[in-house]
A and B are shown apart, each in its own frame.
Chain A
Amino acid sequence: SAVISQKPSRDICQRGTSLTIQCQVDSQVTMMFWYRQQPGQSLTLIATANQGSEATYESGFVIDKFPISRPNLTFSTLTVSNMSPEDSSIYLCSVQFTDTQYFGPGTRLTVL
């Protein structure tokens, strides 16, 4: 399996500001994914981030709002830009390792 860490684990932010979430993996992986889990809901895929290419965004998510970086095979960042209270959620980094997808511990974001 892969061990995934995320920073920060939680944050409280003011509306209109931006937060960058970091994801670090202990193995080199090609496929990394970012998910959002709103309170009481299941996981929604935001985008797929492969090293060396632009991130692929799902319907309803755009690069200007959620810019992603993937500088190498063990690291990625997701920025939540110009935040509003509707962005309050848990953001999860995920990687595909062998045939299985593993999740980081998540970043719990509250926007006031």
Chain B
Amino acid sequence: GQNIDQPTEMTATEGAIVQINCTYQTSGFNGLFWYQQHAGEAPTFLSYNVLDGLEEKGRFSSFLSRSKGYSYLLLKELQMKDSASYLCAVRDRTNQAGTALIFGKGTTLSVSS
């Protein structure tokens, strides 16, 4: 099975940098995803890591260490609109669903002025 852990809530101020951590345990790791979800909306894709290292995409970066079962999402120059839930998800090739993503409980980020 899988176990995915991330903090429940985080707060930050506009312009700051925040790092959201995710640890996972899985037997057939095949990629880690980060999604952003605003209240009442569907999740939107942010990033995908399958190899170790940092992936940078504008203000958002995602890091993966497969040996440590660890990832983080880094958000720079925070804006009020970044207030949302951030979902860490793992693809496990041994899951009976094959390539479906299994999600953590999500981290609710609140950005204040």
A residues engaging B (CB < 8 A)?
1, 31, 33, 41-45, 47-48, 56, 58, 92, 94, 96, 99-106
Contacts and interface: CB of A to CB of B under 8 A. Distances in A.
A63 B90 CA distance: 25
B97 A105 contact: no
Contacts of B87: 42-43
Given A42-B103, A43-B87, A48 B97 contact: yes
A31 B42 contact: no
B102 interface: yes
A101 B41 contact: no
A41 B43 contact: no
Where chain A touches its partner, the secondary structure class is strand
Interface of B: 31, 33, 35, 41-45, 48, 50, 87, 89, 96-106
A1 B87 CA distance: 19
B105 A41 contact: yes
B98 A106 contact: no
A56 B44 CA distance: 24
A105 B53 CA distance: 31
B97 A43 contact: no
Contact of B42 (A33, A99, A106): A106
A44 to B, nearest CB: 8
A56 B96 contact: yes
Contacts of A48: 97-98, 100
B41 A33 contact: no
B103 to A, nearest CB: 4
The 5 A-B pairs of least Cβ separation, nearest first, read: A48-B97, A103-B42, A43-B103, A42-B106, A42-B105
